[in-house]
Structure formats: C-alpha cells, structure tokens
Amino acid sequence: MASDPPLEALVFDAYGTIFDVYSIAALCEQIFPGRGSALTQLWRGKQLEYTWLRSLMERHEDFAHITEAALRYACAASGLDCSASDRATLMQAYLTLAPYPDAILALPRLQRFPLAILSNGTPRMLEAVLQNAGLAETFSHVISVEEVGVFKPSPRVYALAPARLGVDKSKIALISSNAWDIAGAAAFGMQTFWVQRSGLPMDELGVVALKSARNLLELVDELLHTRSRA
Ligand code: 2OP
C-alpha cells in the first residue's frame, strides 16, 4: 500500500526461498529409484506439519530433529526401508541444499539494505547451508527460531526481526516463498513479499502479500525503487 513506510531492512526465509528443499530429490531418487520426488514432497510436507503441531502442543524440538523425524515418517509411510546410514546421508545433504539461481543473482543487488535470515532452521543448519552456498557473508543477521523455542508463524518468531535489527516492524520486509510464512509476518505487521515459486494461489489466511513475484529477481526493482527510501 502507498501508506507503507519506506523499507529499512529485508528479512528472508531460508528453506524454499533461498534454498531449494526439492533439490534433495535427486539424492532421494538415487537411494530409492523411482520414489525420489514423491518421498521429497511427503518429507517436506510432514516436516512443516510437525513444526506447526509441536508449536501448538508446546512441545518444541529443533528443526534438525523434526526434519529427521519427518524423514523417518515419510519413508515408513512410503513403505521404504531407510537405513540409519541412508538417513544420515540425507540429513547431511540438508546442510548443502542448492541455493536458487535467482537468489544468487538478486542478493548482491540488495546489499543497500541490511539483509537477514529468519528461519526455522537451527543455527548450525543455517550456518552450514549458507557457508556451502557461499552466502555466509551476505546476511548481517542469521536469526533462528531456536532463540524463542517456537516455530513460524508464531508472532514471537517475527518479533525477533525488529528486536535484532533495531528497525520498526513496519519498515521490515519479510520475503518468503511459503504462503503461511507470509501470512504470519503480515499478521505480525511486517511488509510482505511473496516469492510464488510453486505457482499455487495464496493461502486463505485472511492476509495477502504486498507484492508477489515468481522469483527473487522479479522483486529487486520493487524493493530497491518502489519500497525503499525516497
Ligand atoms: C524456514 O526456513 C521452514 O522455510 C521455513 O523457516
């Protein structure tokens, strides 16, 4: 909306926005020929479901444990026998997920802003995946939900951004490919930019993003010119 104040910081979701969680399908396919894509989809869906359920149950477990639990479920539900060593190989691969090419191209153009990561990932997972992608120096702040012990879309997670950046929430952009993450950040009072990688419609959660685009490159001009300081 025109009434939104100029942006002073950009906060990025990690998994699905900067990093392609489906890039692990190739390894799943190698281990389970013919089943890689379906297993990866089920694994990601259950991983997110477990974050929401554990937050509602108030039984927090970190994202590394949840990701492995979701993998065990996805293999069992698919009738796949996943050995401890296969699980270890897949979990290790989660630390080296491929960054999206558009993220690699867009992020250097946004360095005018303080850039932060705000993610369900543990500090160790985020450090590893950023390092592996050559993005360790790109973000001034890497903020994990482990600081508050609850997952997105809890407002306690989004409150970490203004607290760590020292910028009012109304002047912070949350950039995510996850519609439920956009909804949580918008409900909290941040400006939201949705990277509609899936092509699916916005979830019906009572809020819509300020702007949506198919990838991060399409957002660069909007963020630099339309939404930043006059
Ligand atoms: C995140 O990075 C899981 O995409 C979600 O917080």
Which is it for the CA torsion 205, 218, 116, 164, positive or negative?
Answer: negative
Is 230 a residue whose pLDDT tops 80? no
Please tell me the predicted confidence (pLDDT) of residue 229. Answer: 61
pLDDT given at position 226: 73
Compute the distance from residue 35 Cα to the ligand 1 centre, in Å.
Answer: 24
Residue nearest ligand 1's atom 1 by CA: 119
Can you state the angle between helices 84-93 and 63-77, rounded to 10 degrees? 130
pLDDT tens per residue across span 100-144: 999 999 999 999 999 999 999 999 999 999 999 999 999 999 999
pLDDT tens digits for range 158-181: 999 999 999 999 999 999 999 999
Distance 230 CA to ligand 1 centre (A): 31
pLDDT at 115: 98
| Ligand 1 pocket, CB under 6 A | 13-16, 119-121, 152, 178
Which residue puts its alpha carbon closest to atom 5 of ligand 1? 15
Establish whether 168 is a catalytic residue: no
Contact 124, 19 (CB under 8 A): no
Q: Which atom of ligand 1 is nearest to the CA of 152?
A: 6
* pTM summary value: 0.96
DSSP the chain: -TTSPPB-EEEE--BTTTB-GGGGHHHHHHHSTT-HHHHHHHHHHHHHHHHHHHHHHT----HHHHHHHHHHHHHHHTT----HHHHHHHHHHGGGPPBPHHHHHHGGGGTTS-EEEEESS-HHHHHHHHHHTT-TTT-SEEEEGGGTT--TT-HHHHTHHHHHHTS-GGGEEEEES-HHHHHHHHHHT-EEEEE-TT-PPPPSSS---SEEESSHHHHHHIIIIISB--
To test the ligand 1 pocket, which listed residue (119, 157, 194) has its Cβ within 8 A of the most ligand atoms? 119
